[in-house]
Copies of this chain bind each other. A is one copy, B any other.
Amino acid sequence: MPDRFFVPTLPDSGERVELAPAEAAHAVRVLRIRPGTNVELLDGVGARARAEVVEASANRRQVRTICRVLERETAPAPALNIRVYLAPPRSKALLRIVRQTVELGVSRLSLVQTRYTVDRPSPAFFVRARAEAVAALKQSGNPRLPKFDPVQTFGRAIAQAAEPGYFGTAPDQTGPAPVRHRARTGPIAVWIGPEGGFAPEEHSQLLGRGLTPVTLGYWTLRVDTAVTALLGWLLGPSI
């Protein structure tokens, strides 16, 4: 498996592209990559390429890594266009969710302030989230970064929500709920509330929008567990 690097702009086959300083430093100083090495380049918006390192140098002033693109392609978009609406947990758990949504191919992450939401990420969070997402991109091979929306209120989010989909509920909130369908393609939303769950009026609004409650297991899930488990359920093969 060749090492993967992120390049915001990925040129056509035959062209050259220079890695950003941090990526170049990782390539040269950590991975000790030399000219002639084959690597994979990802641009975060769906393009990927096999490439060959043609220059890899380091001195006191700068580190440079230049690659020549051998074969560039656009990866097919995932069949399910998943948007996660999420009541944000604390920053550490939230960054882990960002990483896992990239691994699982989520298209868009929208943070929602619900009635029982406790934590509100700072503007600095989004810088860290992007870095975490880029790291996950390289690790997982997914060539698409999710779109991050700024934090919005639940009321605003639900009023504008157009995607069909599901929301997580605690086992004691509704009992085993019927699930109407499981779309295999197209846009789909997954709504995950905070530790305390959605408030009763939020629950009603989610139902009113045609979203289907889903309960996983028998016990109270933490937010990060709920997101990943619900995405696993959505992505898994059906019977």
Report A's interface with B, CB cutoff 8 A. 78, 99-100, 102-105, 139-142, 176-179, 181-182, 214-222, 224-225, 228-233, 235-239
In the assembly, how many copies of this chain are there? 2
Q: Which residue of B lies closest to A106 (CB)?
A: B217
**What's the nearest-Cβ distance from chain B to residue A151, in Å?**
24
Inter-chain contact A217/B105, CB cutoff 8 Å: yes
Which of B99, B139, B219, B229 lies in contact with A229, CB distance below 8 A? B229
Which of B139, B181, B214, B218 lies in contact with A142, CB distance below 8 A? B218
A158–B34 alpha-carbon span in the complex (Å): 41
Q: Which residue of B lies closest to A238 (CB)?
A: B239
Q: Using Cβ atoms and an 8 Å threshold, which residues of chain B touch A219?
A: 102-105, 140-142
Q: Using Cβ atoms and an 8 Å threshold, which residues of chain B touch A232?
A: 216, 228-233, 236
Most chain B CB neighbours (cut-off 10 Å) among A179, A215, A229: A229
Inter-chain contact B104/A239, CB cutoff 8 Å: no
A233–B239 alpha-carbon span in the complex (Å): 11
Most chain B CB neighbours (cut-off 10 Å) among A218, A220, A228, A232: A232
A142–B217 alpha-carbon span in the complex (Å): 10
Which of B178, B214, B222, B229 lies in contact with A231, CB distance below 8 A? B229
Q: Which residue of B lies closest to A143 (CB)?
A: B219
Inter-chain contact B179/A239, CB cutoff 8 Å: yes
Which of B139, B229, B236 lies in contact with A228, CB distance below 8 A? B229
Inter-chain contact B179/A220, CB cutoff 8 Å: no
Query: A216-B235, A237-B179, A237-B214 are contacts. A140–B221 as well, Cβ < 8 Å?
Result: yes
**What's the nearest-Cβ distance from chain B to residue A189, in Å?**
16
User: Can you give 16 A-B contacts (C-beta < 8 A)?
Assistant: A78-B217, A102-B219, A103-B222, A104-B221, A104-B225, A105-B218, A139-B222, A140-B222, A177-B237, A178-B237, A216-B235, A225-B228, A228-B232, A232-B233, A232-B236, A233-B233
